[in-house]
Amino acid sequence: MGKLQNKVAVVTGASKGIGASIAKHLAAEGASVVVNYASSKEGADKVVAEIKSAGGKAIAVHADVSKKADIDRLFAEMKKEYGKLDILVNNAGIYEFKAIEEITEEHIHKLFGLNLVGLILTSQESVKHFGTDGGSIINISSIASTLAPPTGSVYSATKAAVDTFALSLAKELGPKKIRVNNINPGMVETEGVHSAGIADSDWRKEVEKETPLQRIGQPQDIAPAAVFFASDDSAWITGESLVISGGYR
Ligand code: NAP
């Protein structure tokens, strides 16, 4: 029997990259998974099809999780299909790097709007749906929250805010048996990293040179930690941030 049998999970931004891998790993342990997407219906449908063909349960739900109305609809769909919630993975996020002269109001609002405001509103909505057994909220933060690379000031600030939000929320929700933890990946090869031009950049080479395990990550390097934080294996762990970066920091 899987570690997440009879559990229900919502994974935001699960149509590709780290979120897709987390959705598949949670389902492989028995969880029914809501695979959220913003623009790639095709990607989300593919993740759902892979889960189902492996004998798991999943549905794809469109929602822009930077918008409150969409977040409410996402959880309404979850409730209609599965009736309850045990695990929320706040994975949806965007990264853009800009020198201080290039930063615009739009850039700041775009990154904070999804990476922080959306994550807070999604967490708030999830709390209404966890049962008396509690639940687990897992935020995909970033090593950028502490490493803070140059030209990543806005992105790093969004992720540092996520870390601190989780720390406080863990204290507030502990009495309700709702745990809140962060996973802070280093550079991971995803569709997003490819389309941002990072996968083939000198930056990637520099990171690999400085990484004790000598490579950047793959989504499946991150997903098992989400299973750990979702399951009772981490029953006495809350308010923590786990860096997964091949030793790079
Ligand atoms: P990715 O390949 O770009 O995929 C992003 C996912 O988020 C997609 O499924 C996308 O959905 C979804 N998404 C984007 N905007 C959304 C919105 N407004 N509402 C709902 N979903 C939305 O990203 P990734 O590299 O896997 O990164 C995932 C998370 O890990 C992010 O929070 C990122 O900051 C964090 N992270 C990544 C790395 C890395 O090196 N890759 C390192 C540290 C932390 P659609 O495709 O449907 O638009």
Task: Name the closest-CA residue to atom 33, ligand 1.
Answer: 93
Give the pLDDT score at 35. Answer: 99
C-alpha 45 to ligand 1 mean position (Å): 16
Sheet holding 241-244, edge to edge: 57-62, 32-37, 8-11, 87-90, 135-140, 178-185, 241-244
- Which domains are seen in the chain, by residue range? 8-244 (3.40.50.720)
DSSP letters along 95-140, please? -----GGG--HHHHHHHHIIIIIIHHHHHHHHHTTBBTTBEEEEEE
- Is the CB of 208 inside a 6 Å radius of any atom of ligand 1? no
- Kindly report, residue by residue over 112-140, the tens digit of the pLDDT: 999 999 999 999 999 999 999 999 999 99
CA-based radius of gyration for the chain: 17
Model pTM score: 0.99
Q: What is the pLDDT of residue 10?
A: 99
Average pLDDT value for the chain: 98
**Ligand 1 centroid from CA 95, angstroms:** 8
Question: Kind of pairing, strands 135-140 and 32-37?
Answer: unpaired
pLDDT at residue 1 in the model: 80
**SS3 assignment, position 219:** helix
Catalytic (active-site) positions: 155
Residue whose entry in the numeric block shows the structure tokens 């520099």: 206
Per DSSP, the residues of 35-71 read EEESS-HHHHHHHHHHHHHTT-EEEEEE--TTSHHHH
Spatial contact of 165 and 120, defined as CB atoms under 8 Å apart = yes
Atom 3 of ligand 1 has which residue's CA nearest to it?
Answer: 192
pLDDT digits (tens, 9 = 90+) for 205-230: 999 999 999 999 999 999 999 999 99
Residues lower than pLDDT 50 in the chain: none
Question: Residue 222's pLDDT is what?
Answer: 99
Residue 32 near residue 233, CB atoms below 8 Å: no
- The verdict on the CB of residue 111 being under 6 Å from ligand 1 is no
CA 193 to ligand 1 centroid distance, Å = 9
Nearest CA to ligand 1 atom 6: 13
